[in-house]
Homo-oligomer: A and B are copies of this chain.
Amino acid sequence: MGILDQFFISPETASKGDYTIATYLVEVPPATDINVFAAALAVEQTTGTWVQVPEETAEIRKKYCGKVVSVLEVPAYEFELPKGVESRSFVLQVAYPEVNFGSQIPMLLSTVIGNISMCGRLKLLDLKFSDYFMKGFKGPKFGVEGVRKILGVQGRPLLNNMIKPCTGYTPEVGAKLFYQAALGGVDIIKDDELIADPPFCPMAKRVELYMKAEEKVFRETGEHTLFTVNVTNNATEAIRNAKNAVKMGVNAVMLNFLTAGYSVLQSLADDPEINVPILAHLDFAGVLYESHYSGLSSHLVLGKLARLAGADIVVYPSPYGKFNFFREKHMLIANALTCEFGSIKRSFPMPGGGINNGNVHSVVEDLGIDCIIGCGGAIHGHPMGPTLGAKAMRQVIDAAVKGVPYAKMADSSPEVKAAYDLWGDTKGRQVKLFDLK
């Protein structure tokens, strides 16, 4: 038996077992024996520590120890290291026995990126789960089909509006903006992530006034609007907030799921009393994914794990708005939210941040109809007001679905033309952020 045997497992065997396979990018000094490094990582994150202890028996290591699946050098050198190379990079795969952590995200993260998150240049690129692990998750209660069913909207992307300004206004002002935007055809109105329950705009009062506005709009237009009230707080309070809001008649909730924790998102999703769609907001995500050398990849943070935890709608950075974000990453997140994934429902991808009418065609070309156009300022900052601002967005969405160019649409609609003249055709481009004014 070779000395690697007890620490390594073949990809074929790993795929058949109850293992979560984690893929890492690591950068190590040239002299590092990468096989020892990989084995140390697998042992450290399961049974072992810096010294072997008597009760870490061969039997325990066999059943509960992580195993190295693959060690891939990127780029690869032939025979010997070129002079001047100060580090080598590898893609490593490690299979972790899922029986160790069970079907829950906090213990999963503690295992796959827990203490090793502090051991130098190591980034978690991907996770692959077994059926055994997946079976423990319910995922989104509603998902794409469920949200569409509530709204009665098929065949086009949904339109989401964030009330703007983000914070500082009263529930009365908010309700006015809600009414105006919903009247123009917005499907979902979300709180900004920066407002939860401040004394100048209490959550309960928002629910009361906004849902009254929702009813009024429904009577006038026959179209429903979801209000995702931001319930973010400590775990106990967030869960209580959500239950209270549902009792008060809110038809959706939102959570800043990365500052509150995946654990709170899943508790909301798993709670039968909270029988409304959940929107998961991206803020804080950069803390987890932004570094090239540490943390997790963005399609895990905002894609796979958000969906697994039960988000019906996930807001993530649009490559066309105010964030610097690669289009490829946006596509990978959307794919993780909507691909085949056991029996877990699809989550709605909602790329956002500085989206205006000029970006809609780009999003629809990328994602098709099963996405949500997230748009705050372009509705509330529209020169003809929020109602016509929302109408303009709905018209541009329809144009994008039908393949009518934005410029052409602007010719036939004064409200679209007003947006076109103000912000231009920003297709595929980013918006300018800010001027002192």
Residues of A that sit less than 8 Å from B by CB: 3-4, 7, 35-36, 39-40, 43-56, 60-61, 63-65, 99-102, 104-111, 113-120, 162, 164-169, 173, 177, 193-200, 232-239, 256, 259-264, 266-267, 270-271, 281-288, 290-291, 293-296, 317, 321-325, 353-354, 356, 376-378, 380-381, 423, 431-437
Smallest CB separation, A178 vs chain B (Å): 12
Question: How many protomers of this protein does the assembly include?
Answer: 2
Given contacts A235-B235, A285-B118, contact A381 B106 (CB under 8 A): no
Rounded to whole Å, the gap between the CB of A166 and the closest CB of chain B is 6
CB distance from A279 to the nearest CB of B (A): 14
Cross-chain contact B110 with A234 (CB below 8 angstroms): no
Q: Which of A49, A109, A238, A322 has the most CB of B within 10 A?
A: A49
Q: Are B286 and A119 in contact (CB under 8 A)?
A: yes
Q: Is the CB of B105 within 8 A of A48?
A: no
Q: Establish whether residues A291 and B295, one from each chain, have CB atoms under 8 Å apart when the complex forms.
A: yes
Q: Cβ of A235 and Cβ of B263 under 8 Å apart?
A: yes
Q: Is the CB of B106 within 8 A of A233?
A: yes
Once the chains are docked, how many angstroms separate the CA of A186 from the CA of B109? 29
Secondary structure call for the A interface: loop
Is A198 a contact partner of B101 (Cβ separation < 8 A)? yes
Nearest to A45 among chain B residues (CB) is B194
In the complex formed, the residue of B with least CB distance to A292 is B291
Inter-chain pairs besides A36-B436, A235-B239, A287-B288, 19 sampled, C-beta below 8 Å: A4-B436, A36-B434, A39-B434, A47-B167, A48-B166, A50-B321, A53-B377, A55-B177, A102-B196, A106-B233, A114-B194, A117-B285, A118-B285, A119-B286, A234-B262, A235-B263, A236-B267, A259-B262, A290-B291
Indicate the member of A45, A162, A356 with the most B CB atoms within 10 Å. Answer: A45
Chain B contacts for A285, CB-based, 8 A: 117-118
B431 with A168: CB separation less than 8 A = no
- List residues of chain B with CB within 8 A of the CB of A100: 167-168, 194-195, 198
